[in-house]
Every structure is written in structure tokens, then in C-alpha cells.
Amino acid sequence: MTDALEGVTWFRQSSVRIRREGLEIHVDPWGVPETSTAHFILLTHPHYDNFSEEDIARVRGPETVVVAPATMKKQLDDADHYLRPGDLVQLEGIDILAVPAHNRNKKFHPPDSGWLGYVFTVGGITYYHTGHTDFLDSMNGIQCDVVFVPCCSVYTMGPEEAARTGKACGASVLVPIHWGEQKASPDDAETVAPLFPGQVRILERKAQNP
């Protein structure tokens, strides 16, 4: 079986790039060190470390399709698709499902924000980028191969909740992201491994220097 993380790069925080089947997808580009041309840019919410206009410009070309929450129209008035939780957009080479992403027990990502995570399939692998969220019951209705979970820093899930997220969506591979900025280390991210029945893959951060 092809490595589900082949072509996957994590830059920093929630910034993930996937290159498969001739497509390049960026989620929340931030700290991307090189100029390239994305086919799709998926934005989860407008916090500075998720919505970097500089990085969006670095990877956005004339044909790039930008997908954003409907509640981000004030910050970004030229996205191609504005989605709400539950919306599905079918595009050439990829279908993108928008799913809820918010905190239950923290104040930083409120339930009424309309902010998003995304589920999409590329090259036979279904990826779920949760966005910045706590565990939500709606995750039980998602099926994926790989889940990217914000984990193990002060503003994110803890290891138990991250593992619960991976189990709920049936992921075979769980990738902790959003660590390394608030004193969290690879050792902190690895605390998820004993709690999750599948693989936990700790990616090396590839970001440019801030």
C-alpha cells in the first residue's frame, strides 16, 4: 500500500501541503518557504497563524481555487467558494466536505464562528484536516484514512482528546499538528501514540524561520 503521507508536508501550526496525483492542496498556508502554485487552498479560520495573506499570495496562481468559511467574507472577498459546516463542493479532481470546527471548553474558537475543518480524497486517500477544534460528536460521522489533529499545546486538544478524534473518524494514521509554537515538543506530540490504536506519525516541521 502506498504511504498515506507520501507528498504530505507540515510547515507549522495548521499549515499542511498535500501533493498527490498531480494536485497540490494547501490548508492554512503559513511559513511556506518556497513559491509554488496550489490547485486548491483551504482556509479554516481567520486567526493570524491560519490566515496569512503573504503565504496565500506565495502559493496562489491565476487558476488556484480558494475555499473559505462563509464567515470570512470580510477578511477575504475573493475566495472562489464560501462554505458552511455540512456543505460539499465538487471540483475537478477533488470533492471537499466542510465540517464544523470549534472549541467546547475554550473561548478562542466559539461554536457560532462558522469556522471549518475539511474532508477530501486525493489519490485514493481520504484526509481530514480538523481545523482548530476540540472533539465534537459530529466527528463520529466522518470516515478518513489520515487525520490531522491540533494537539499538545496550550490552545489545542490534549493527547486523550486527539486520540478520541482519531478513533471517532476511523483514521488509520493520526498526525499531530499545531505543536512546537507554544513550548510543545515532539515528545509532547508523541504522548498520543499509546492512546491511539493506529499509527501516530510525527512530521518534521518544514517552515521558514518566522
Helix (H) or strand (E) holding 96: strand 94-100
Predicted pLDDT at 51: 93
Helix (H) or strand (E) holding 160: helix 159-168
- The per-residue pLDDT of the chain, averaged, comes to 91
Predicted pLDDT at 209: 55
| Confidence tier at 86 by pLDDT (50, 70, 90) | very high
- Are 205 and 180 a contacting pair, CB within 8 Å? yes
| Confidence tier at 1 by pLDDT (50, 70, 90) | very low
Angle CA 169–148–52, to nearest 5: 135
> Hunting for cell 471540483 — which residue is that?
91
- Are 135 and 174 a contacting pair, CB within 8 Å? no
